[in-house]
Amino acid sequence: MTKQSIALSELVEKGADSDLLREMIQHVVQRVMDMDVENLCAAAYGERSADRQNSRNGYRERLWETRAGAVNVKIPKLRSGSYFPPFLEPRRTAEKALAAVIQEAYIQGVSTRSVDELVKAMGMSGISKSQVSRLCAEIDERVHAFLDRPIEGDWPYLWIDATYVKSREAGRIVSKAVIIAVAVNTEGVRQVLGMAVGPSEAEPFWRDFLRSLTRRGLRGVKLVISDAHEGLKAAAAKVLNATWQRCKVHFLRNALAHAGKGQRQMVLAAINTAFAQDSFETATAQWRVVADQLRAKLPKLGELMDTAETEVLSFMSFPKAHRTQIHSTNPLERLNAEVKRRTDVVGIFPNENAVIRLVGALLLEQNDEWQLQRRYMQLEGLASLSDNQPARLSAVVS
């Protein structure tokens, strides 16, 4: 195998417990068997052809144990003779190679030659480039159906963050920004709303992304939580007309960079006294006291606190039950770490479509997992943030 195929196999080992991987294995195995039977019959399913040599006669089910878990496959039956896929033969350790085939097709948006070679290595007759491209198209269809789905209801809290990957473009290797949006609706349910890939985090890129979300139905956003991206800040104000919350964790890192090693513990404790207040008003008052106290010895830190006061304390004007979740981009950090882990294995993507295919599928998988978990945020206070308040009728009829 090529180095790239080996790396993809390692990726499979790291994500072998993934439900998405099992679904992809099942999907691709089924399509490969269907293509194999089409070759044996010399005609596609339901096709009228003078060259037809055989026809199908239903399926028989078999549970296939793989390193990614148990996969239920339907083996096509023939009216004349029998068909049994070579990769299911006893003692044939082909599921790892098959998973590599899936990942290769999953990631390679351009070349399909290596996919064909891997299929041949599994003892199969090989499939054409057009067939492999069709498999990729079917995977892309699932991913785009998820990323382009309508957004319903009100989503008061929206987290947005970006990570960077390497991709080939016009013969060069360039850095691409991958931005991901996660939100919580008025039912307290968390979902991945979308993603986009672009050349940089400039305001036009952010603005186009946010507009794409609103076209799909995003509404009712009250607070946008992100790192200190000026482009996003401006775009959120124009497109969503929402308050912006600068990530508290990122701000503290920036603040501590202005203090000496021996001063950082004291600075952190002092700033945290503002976050410990009960209301926005008392928090801002304490913030100014701390800024004035630190200004004498650390003038740059005092200046930073002056400029960041409103944007770092925005979350304090929202319900207290939600504050620990909306003061930073932490709800996105774990998701971004998983995306980075998978994309680092790939290294350099062949094109932008390949980035969307892999990251989009990971987001689809994560979103499905979130739907099976308990409510992410307490309902207390969420109803008050909705733009569609229920009408209150008087109990007394005059």
235-269: pLDDT as tens digits = 888 899 889 999 999 999 999 999 888 899 999 99
- Residue ending a domain, among 147, 181, 214, is 147
303-330: pLDDT as tens digits = 999 999 999 999 999 989 899 999 999 8
| Residue 294, domain extent | 248-327
Q: Does 357 share its domain with 320?
A: no
Q: Is 379 exposed, middle or buried (0-12, 13-18, 19+ CB in 10 A)?
A: exposed
pLDDT of residue 120: 54
pLDDT of residue 135: 60
Has residue 300 got a pLDDT over 70? yes
- Residue ending a domain, among 130, 147, 164, is 147
Q: Does 142 share its domain with 161?
A: no
- Percent of the chain, pLDDT > 70? 78
pLDDT of residue 107: 46
Has residue 351 got a pLDDT over 60? yes
Model confidence band, residue 359 (pLDDT cutoffs 50, 70, 90): confident
164-196: pLDDT as tens digits = 988 888 888 899 989 999 999 988 999 999 999
Structural contact between residues 55 and 41, judged by C-beta atoms closer than 8 angstroms: yes
Has residue 70 got a pLDDT over 50? yes
- Stretch 61-69: mean pLDDT: 74
Integer Cα distance of 115 and 104 in angstroms? 6
Task: Tokens 């207040």: give the residue.
Answer: 277
Has residue 94 got a pLDDT over 60? no
C-alpha distances out from residue 354 to 5, 104, 126, 347, Å: 15, 10, 23, 12
Integer Cα distance of 355 and 252 in angstroms? 32
Look up residue 26 and give its two tokens: 């099942």
Q: Does 318 share its domain with 232?
A: no
Look up residue 83 and give its two tokens: 């068909």
- Stretch 336-352: mean pLDDT: 78
**Side-chain half-sphere of 70: how many Cα atoms within 13 Å?**
4
Q: Does 238 share its domain with 366?
A: yes
Of 354 and 148, the structure prediction assigns the larger pLDDT to 148
Structural contact between residues 359 and 192, judged by C-beta atoms closer than 8 angstroms: no
Integer Cα distance of 114 and 125 in angstroms? 14
Q: What angle do CA 249, 254, 343 make, to 5 degrees?
A: 65
Q: Does 84 share its domain with 194?
A: no
Q: Does 52 share its domain with 93?
A: yes
Model confidence band, residue 53 (pLDDT cutoffs 50, 70, 90): confident
Has residue 34 got a pLDDT over 70? yes
pLDDT of residue 384: 74
- Residue ending a domain, among 147, 167, 183, is 147
Structural contact between residues 386 and 222, judged by C-beta atoms closer than 8 angstroms: no
Task: Tokens 């290596």: give the residue.
Answer: 114
Model confidence band, residue 150 (pLDDT cutoffs 50, 70, 90): very high
Q: Does 116 share its domain with 174?
A: no
List the single range of 143-152, 197-206, 276-285 with lowest mean pLDDT. Answer: 197-206
Return the DSSP state at 383: G
Counting the structural domains of the chain, the total is 3
Q: Is 67 among the domain residues?
A: yes
List the single range of 17-21, 138-142, 242-246 with lowest mean pLDDT. Answer: 17-21
Model confidence band, residue 7 (pLDDT cutoffs 50, 70, 90): very low
**What backbone phi and psi angles, to 5 degrees, belong to 110?**
-120, -70
Q: Does 125 share its domain with 157?
A: no
- Stretch 74-102: mean pLDDT: 62
pLDDT of residue 111: 43
Q: Provide the CATH number for the domain around residue 215.
A: 3.30.420
Integer Cα distance of 309 and 284 in angstroms? 7
Q: Does 51 share its domain with 118?
A: yes
Q: Is 396 among the domain residues?
A: no
Q: Does 129 share its domain with 16?
A: yes
Q: Does 127 share its domain with 161?
A: no
Q: Does 194 share its domain with 61?
A: no
Has residue 129 got a pLDDT over 70? no
Q: Residue 192 forms beta bridges with which residues? A: 182
Model confidence band, residue 281 (pLDDT cutoffs 50, 70, 90): very high
